[in-house]
Structure 1
Amino acid sequence: MTPFPAEESDPFCLPMQSATWLADAPWRRFASMGDSLAAGTHGPSPGYADMGWPDRLAGLLRRVHPGLAYLNTAVIGATAAKTLDRQLGRIVKFGPDLLHISCGANDLWRPEPDLATIGRTMRQLFGRAAATGALLTTFTLGRAFVVPGFPDWHDRVRALNGVIRELAAEHGAVLADMWDHPVNDRPDLLSADGIHFSAAGQAVMAAELVKALALRSELIRRAPGAGGGGAPARCG
């Protein structure tokens, strides 16, 4: 019996040939910065490896380059400003060639979030991150999570996702778009905290980012059966 039968049968998780997709991946220094999304914060899911998406991606990249260096500076609750002020310095010193950024969601947890300021801060963050020379990656936020007491929550998330898409396009970042992914409709997607994606959701996010990286790098075209594991993620 396989150790994670639910994961292996999940159509949106990585198929067996996924390692082949990244067989020629050049990245040897992977970093992730931002909030709990960048950290891979999650709860367990029966039948799925108890891992966040960044550790999953690092593990897959290590199958290509066993000496991969990996740094995750993400902090639960970090805002865009705190990511810029408290994490970017460590990232620059690390010198990644593949860098993930996810932040901005915690800035929405206010009675009246200042979307203009959020956008300016994230623009500065993405600009300075791109200056490292690393290939940037990011996610849009999914629609599954809704904050009680904020009837306009989805409008806030759509606005933030718009900023993320714009910055991804501007800086050539690889974007895995999770806003309307079918996984959002799963009743057990969220962890017990009602906020973060469960291990099952983390597995899907990792799969979407791997497919997006493979498509961007034109590696997936050389992999037989590359269409498995769900529709390829859109790239920014």
Structure 2
Amino acid sequence: METHVEYTSFVALGDSFTEGMSDRLPDGSYRGWADLLAARLAARTPGFRYANLAVRGKLIGQIVEEQVGLAAAMAPDVVTLVGGLNDTLRPKVDMGRVRALLTEAVERLAPACGQLVLMRSPARNGPVQKRFRPRMEELFTVVDELAAAHGALVVDLYAAPVLGDQRMWDVDRLHLTAEGHRRVAEAVWQTLGLDAAEDWRAGLPPTERERWLARRAHDARFTREHLGPWVMRRLTGRSSGDGLAAKRPELLAYGDAAPVRDAGSSDGTPGRDRTAGPS
């Protein structure tokens, strides 16, 4: 049964997952699950306010330094925090430091908002993700412990097999498709105690296995267009989010104009700023 709690404001923190890659709109900007959730919450609450501070490529230390204080000062009804996964994907990572920073973030955010929401992020099935799964699961253990200690909700996307389906992931194999983001929005909606519109865990229909030559062609494209640039950024110390600001940095009424920017290129080159309402 739907909760009678009224959510009047929402602030999203994180990296590319919360920014909305790769749910691309016709104008080149990204939408994503947080924008979809905000639209649904705004539809049921007049005067609803929304901010999205997430920027692609951010590590948990950057999220704590650049986003947590701003979000806490906004004192919204709902805060979503998804961070640390980029750290686990680095060649070397200090998981003790990740734990400490995530703990700091939760300790600052939980008292400052009505409801803090954490996530166990989805993971695409495949050999690359398999390599990093132990780190990811260590991160999710920290998430569960912090949620229990601070009264946060946890959206368990990791346990949903459908979100591991390769068809839910963009060609870069790092970001969800529009359908994946739509399901994440529904998952958060239900976790907040709101009436379910659908079963977001429902599996996709079966499909024929892709032919060997087609798989190799897709692998070659992925390596050329996505894996190669990603490796180069790791080697040169650059991030796909360098120079980018949050697309919705202020907690404004949902329908109000807000400074947002184009998505930029697939390798993280900053796009130009423009003014528009929320997507």
- TM-score interval for Structure 1 and Structure 2 normalised by the shorter chain: 0.7 to 0.9
- Structure 1: state its 5+ residue gaps: 1-19, 221-225
Which of 51, 59, 71 is the equivalent residue of 2:51?
A: 71
Within a 5 Å distance, the mapping from 1:96-111 to structure 2 comes to 96-111=76-91
Within a 5 Å distance, the mapping from 1:147-166 to structure 2 comes to 148=128, 152-166=131-145
Q: Identity, % of aligned pairs?
A: 26
**Offset, 1:230:** 4.9
Is 1:229 matched up with 2:199? yes
Q: TM-score, normalised by structure 2?
A: 0.64
Separation (CA, whole Å) in 1 of partners of 2:161 and 2:89: 25
**Offset, 1:89:** 2.3
Q: Match for residue 262 of structure 2?
A: none
Which of 136, 144, 168 is the equivalent residue of 2:116?
A: 136
Q: TM-score, normalised by structure 1?
A: 0.75
Deviations along 1:38-65, whole A, 9 cap, x unmatched?
22222459xxxx8411111111111111
Aligned residue pairs total: 198
Give the number of the structure whose alpha-carbon radius of gyration is greater.
2
Separation (CA, whole Å) in 2 of partners of 1:228 and 1:55: 18
Within a 5 Å distance, the mapping from 1:170-185 to structure 2 comes to 170-185=149-164
- Structure 2: state its 5+ residue gaps: 203-279
Deviations along 1:164-203, whole A, 9 cap, x unmatched?
1111121111111011202134331111221011111011
Structure number with greater CO (CA < 8 Å, separation at least 6) is 1
Separation (CA, whole Å) in 2 of partners of 1:151 and 1:205: 22
Q: Match for residue 73 of structure 2?
A: 93
Is 1:125 matched up with 2:105? yes
Kindly report the root-mean-square deviation, in angstroms, between the aligned alpha carbons of the 2 structures. Answer: 2.5
SS at 2:158 equivalent: coil
Separation (CA, whole Å) in 1 of partners of 2:65 and 2:125: 27
Hey, which bits of structure 1, 4+ residues long, moved more than 6 A?
A: none
Question: Between Structure 1 and Structure 2, which shows a larger proportion of strand residues?
Answer: 2
Deviations along 1:89-120, whole A, 9 cap, x unmatched?
22123221110000001111322311111001
Is 1:191 matched up with 2:170? yes
**Offset, 1:137:** 0.7
SS at 1:112 equivalent: coil
Separation (CA, whole Å) in 1 of partners of 2:160 and 2:201: 10
